[in-house]
Structure formats: structure tokens, C-alpha cells
Amino acid sequence: MKADPAVQRRLLELADADAELSRIEHRRRTLPELTEIEAAEVSVRTKRDAQVAIQTSLTDLNREVKRQEREIDAVRAREDRDRGLLADGTVSPKQLTDLEHELATLQRRQTTLEDDLLELMERREAVELDGQHAGIELAKAEEALTDAAKRRDEALADLDTAQARREAERTKLLPGIPEPLFQLYDRVRANKGIGASLLRARRCGACRIELDRSAISRIAASPADEVVTCEECGAILVRTAESGL
Ligand SMILES: [Zn+2]
């Protein structure tokens, strides 16, 4: 294939733009913010679950406290009724003994219930504190997630800008490259990653391999408008004064 040396040199600019576009694409997929966001999402989920668990035990404790209070109220009502009957003075001596016995039992029961209630309330207080702590932790995790997402979006916006600039450069280069040469470039790039590179100091810029004497003399003997490729990697080798021929 033949192409004017100036046209061949345009391939180097095209290769630069394509290499930069590949770097942008790679960077887009490997932004550190992406792993940071994944970790932050796990953290938020874990902390939200913890908060839900605390909320559930708080609801259970509240229910238990209410039940305990109702039971205490019932015992007190029964005590009041017994005291009322005693104060009435109309009960028989047998009923009197029974009532006094029942009152003593009720009072013991009330004490036990009140002790249990106190313990329940202490537990509830501790769980409420856990809940406050969990709320703060969750807010912190959510903030970290928002922050990481914001930084990711900023990084992506920068990459979009860089990509648009490189694509515009590339579009401007294309009309200056004949179709068959571009197709050769594009095919090599699709297979090897780099379509064209500078032959510098006898070394292929794409695969970095130093060309042997026979390859160098073959290239040196080729007319300047002959398109030559690297025997190792297939990249189009663009010759300039730096090529060491
Ligand atoms: Zn090569």
C-alpha cells in the first residue's frame, strides 16, 4: 500500500487520539470512586439493617412495658377493691382473713411486677441509646456514599469532556486519511490495540521490539510512500528522521 509520508504521519496523531480514548475508557471503568461507592453502599445497607433491628426490639420492649403497666394497674385495682371491702367493715371474720391474705399476695405480686417494669425500662433506655448511635452511624455512612457519588460524577464529567475533545480531534483527522489506509489501521488496531506507531531508533513504538538488521534494511529500502508494518505486531510503522534508518 502506498501513502504520502505526510498522510502516514497523520496516522500517528490518530493513534494518539485512539490511545487517549482507550485510556479514558479504561479510567471510566476503573475509577477508584466505583469501589468506594460499592463499599459505601454495603456500609449503608448494614447500618440501615442494624437500625431496623433496633427499632424492632424497641417496639417489642414498648409493647412489653405497656403489658406490664396494664398488669400492675389490674393488681392495684384489685388491692383497692380489697381495701374498700376491709374499710366497709361488713365482712365476716373468715372473709377478713382471706382478704388480708389476698392483699399480702397482691402486694408481693405488685412489687415483683414493678421490679420487672423497672428492668424493662432500663433495657428500653439502653436500646434507645443504641438507636441514637445507629442513627448517627447511618447518617455518616449515607454522607460518605453521597460524597463518593458526587466525586464519581465529577470524575465522569471530566472524562466526558476529555473524550469529546479527543473524538473531535479524531473526526478532524479522518478526512485526511485515505479509506484503504484507514481500514488497514483500524483492522490492526482492532486486533492488536495499536494501529500505527512511530519507528524510533529502530524500535517499533507499538510492541517496543527492536527490529533486526534485515527488517531495518528492508524498511530502509522501501520508498518513503510505501506503507510498512512491524513484523512482530503488525502495526503500521511510520518513518521519520527519528527512525534510525
Ligand atoms: Zn511492533
Contacts made by residues 9-13, CB under 8 angstroms, sequence distance 24+ = 9/238, 9/240, 10/173, 10/176, 10/177, 11/177, 11/181, 11/185, 11/195, 11/196, 11/236, 11/238, 12/196, 12/197, 12/198, 12/238, 13/169, 13/173
pLDDT higher than threshold 90 for residue 117: yes
What's the gap in Å between 186 CA and the centre of ligand 1?
Answer: 15
What's the gap in Å between 234 CA and the centre of ligand 1?
Answer: 6
Nearest-10 Cα torsion for 13, 19, 25, 30: -140
What's the gap in Å between 237 CA and the centre of ligand 1?
Answer: 8
Structure confidence at residue 62 (pLDDT): 97
Residues 216 and 173: beta-carbon distance below 8 Å: no
- When pLDDT is averaged across residues 205-231 and rounded to a whole number, the result is 94
Return d(Cα 206, Cα 13) in angstroms, integer. Answer: 14
What's the gap in Å between 123 CA and the centre of ligand 1?
Answer: 73
How do residues 147-172 score in pLDDT, each as one tens digit?
A: 999 999 999 999 999 999 999 999 99
What's the gap in Å between 7 CA and the centre of ligand 1?
Answer: 20
What's the gap in Å between 68 CA and the centre of ligand 1?
Answer: 84
Residues 152 and 33: beta-carbon distance below 8 Å: yes
How do residues 74-114 score in pLDDT, each as one tens digit?
A: 999 999 999 999 998 888 999 999 999 999 999 999 999 99
Structure confidence at residue 245 (pLDDT): 82
Nearest-10 Cα torsion for 110, 115, 116, 117: 90
How do residues 120-147 score in pLDDT, each as one tens digit?
A: 999 999 999 999 999 999 999 999 999 9
Please tell me the pTM assigned to this model: 0.76
What's the gap in Å between 161 CA and the centre of ligand 1?
Answer: 31
Structure confidence at residue 157 (pLDDT): 98
What's the gap in Å between 18 CA and the centre of ligand 1?
Answer: 17
Structure confidence at residue 89 (pLDDT): 83
Structure confidence at residue 241 (pLDDT): 87
Return d(Cα 244, Cα 10) in angstroms, integer. Answer: 20
